[in-house]
Amino acid sequence: MSFSYKRAYTGPVTAAIFDWAGTTIDFGSLAPIKAFSALFEQNQVAITLAEARAPMGAEKREHIRQILAMPRVKDAWLAAQGKEADQTDIDRLYNDFVPLQIGTIADRSTLIPGALETFEYLQEHGIKIGANTGYAEEMIVDLLPKAAEQGYVPLSNVCAPQVPKGRPYPHMTLKNMLELEIETVQSVIKVDDTLIGIEEGLNAGCWTVGVAVSGNEVGLDLEEWLALSAEEQNKLRGNAYARFRACGAHYVIDSIADLPEVVEDINLRLACGEQP
């Protein structure tokens, strides 16, 4: 009996799949933070920025559940509401969250500097562009045309509620690959500003690129970031890079503007038979 084995993929990168907030739009990933902060304030429970950011990248109903499960928030909710939060509360909070999130996304829909140039580079090299997000479909109805007006139209867009499980499960990225008609997962790059988004890419078998400065790990608006001293920037950058590397990201960059160099390096590694 004889067997034939397919050689390891040695071709170029064929697709890049991006997160939205903090990765391609909304420098600092502030739209979700503003919405979650307002939501809990409406329910007499103040949450910190760290608490709001901790589950970032997750499907938004799950994000709410994880915030409520935090010991300090759990105690604050009990004090304010007179009982522990249950599924009915989570469902109500999610329904109240949707219009808040739509509003903050509308205010934070500008492409991150350098994004358009990166998209043009990918298109020039025949690399398909996909997107996925913890946002629900109704949350990005206005975002998609706003992004298109700026020149960003991903060929595939997947929202967490469209798949059985959101991040860190690989379902969204795999759905992107199906829609983009990708033959090999090894030829795909997943770009994300959250640790859970990197886990998603690793679980899908992709190359993963963490976005450190423009996204959730630093969490500052562009103006706030530029106002920092070089020493302050380097400290925040270093902490973010370390967290992504500890999570297993193959590469870490400041922002999407730095992605072309990563693509070139991955192409060299693939040509030598390396795999993610």
Report DSSP state, residue 137.
G
3-state secondary structure of 129: strand
Give the catalytic positions in this structure: 19, 60
User: CA torsion 37→19→254→120, rounded to 10°?
Assistant: -140
d(CA 254, CA 233): 11
Phi/psi region, residue 2 (left: phi>0; alpha: psi -120 to 50; beta: rest), is: beta
d(CA 71, CA 53): 15
d(CA 46, CA 133): 26
Report the largest interatomic distance among the alpha carbons of the chain, rounded to a whole angstrom.
Answer: 71
Helix (H) or strand (E) holding 104: helix 87-107
Report DSSP state, residue 205.
T
